[in-house]
Copies of this chain bind each other. A is one copy, B any other.
Amino acid sequence: MKRITIEDIARECNVSKSTVSRVLNNSPHVKSSTRKKVLEVMKKYNYTPNILARGLIAKKIGALGVIVSDITNPFHSLLVRGIGDICRTYGYSLFLCNTDGRVDEEIKHVRSLIQRSVDGIIFASIKLKDEGLEEAKKSGIPILLVGRLPEKEEGFNYVIVDNELGGYMAVNYLISLGHRKIAYLSGPWDTWPNIRRFEGYKRALEEAGLSIDKKYIFKGDFTLDTAYSIGTKILMMRDRPTSVFCANDMSAIGLLEACMELGVKVPEEMSIIGFDDIPLSSFRTIQLTTVSQSIYDQGALAGKILLEKLQNEDNTPTQLTLPPKLIIRKTCAPPKEV
């Protein structure tokens, strides 16, 4: 099934390729009668230009690449949905890359994206020190970071929410409810979101004149299962905290499950607050109080900014920090024994 080309339709119209190309690109220098004719024939043959040929010249193909660790993660799928929707409205396609958090995979993906001449790359699961990011940067391809930042963020485009502030708000809320024994269930430790959220946790405690108690700091990894097993430990410790700020919603839900399993009533006997506000958190059976990242919007905004930048050939970095939102649902209450 041979695809018809610009040449075919030129022949049929008794004009040159150039003319056809002109109408294709809305050049004003075409007699309206010939333009009309060309358009007709194009329609007749159901012609669509070959983007590869175009791309070979333009050195781009009207596509973005997005790199996430795992699209199965609700955070990422929402983010990617936001990015994808914007791409669609701009007429761009989207390459999806899952890295599973592995550097080698990420690098492979970056290279493949560069080879394919994507117009830009959105990194959603950057590490503090990220080789894939370095490689992409070297190539000169436009980059935008969403959701998290690397160690050295200078010069990059990014849109994030203020994670430190989010952590601060979460813990402050707990404090305002009367909690004094506030634990922190972390994410992977050397990770931007974890560090920022922990900073917020510490600041809130400090400002309230509360000391940071090491025994209330628990190392998790953002997964439900880990949070569940750590959760059971937390619940069984002597002098257990009355509340836990979980570094993300999945962890919070894991802890919630542990509470159910052990018959600990939430929020009466244990207050739990998460971070992210993934769709699952608003389920009737969960109703997690959390700090919202407006994930979809963050993705859409990220896409929009990068795409605008591409169209305007704007090379100045735009760095956007969005405010987090406290979403109060049903997993927090004043502590029982004050």
In the complex, which residue of chain B has the Cβ closest to the Cβ of A112? B93
Tell me which of A112, A140, A279 has the highest count of chain B C-beta atoms within 10 A of its own C-beta: A112
Q: Which stretch of A70-78, A181-189, A241-249 is in the interface?
A: A70-78
Decide yes or no: A84 and B56 within 8 Å by CB, A1-B139, A48-B115, A285-B257 being known contacts.
no
One digit per residue, 1 when the CB lies within 8 angstroms of any chain B CB and 0 when it does not, for chain A 138-168 equals 0110000000000000000000000000000
Chain B residues within an 8 Å CB radius of A280:
280
Please pick, from B84, B228, B284, the residue contacting A71 in the complex, using a CB distance under 8 A.
B84
Is B96's CB under 8 angstroms from A84's CB? Answer: yes
A interface, how many residues as a size bin?
35 or more
Interchain CA distance A61-B286 in the complex, whole Å: 45
Interchain CA distance A51-B96 in the complex, whole Å: 17
A210 contacts the other chain (CB 8 A): no
Interchain CA distance A240-B334 in the complex, whole Å: 40
Interface residue ranges, A against B (CB under 8 Å): 1, 3, 48-53, 55-56, 59, 61, 63, 70-72, 74, 77-78, 80-81, 84-85, 88, 91, 93-98, 105, 108-109, 111-117, 139-140, 224, 228, 253, 256-257, 260-261, 279-280, 283-286
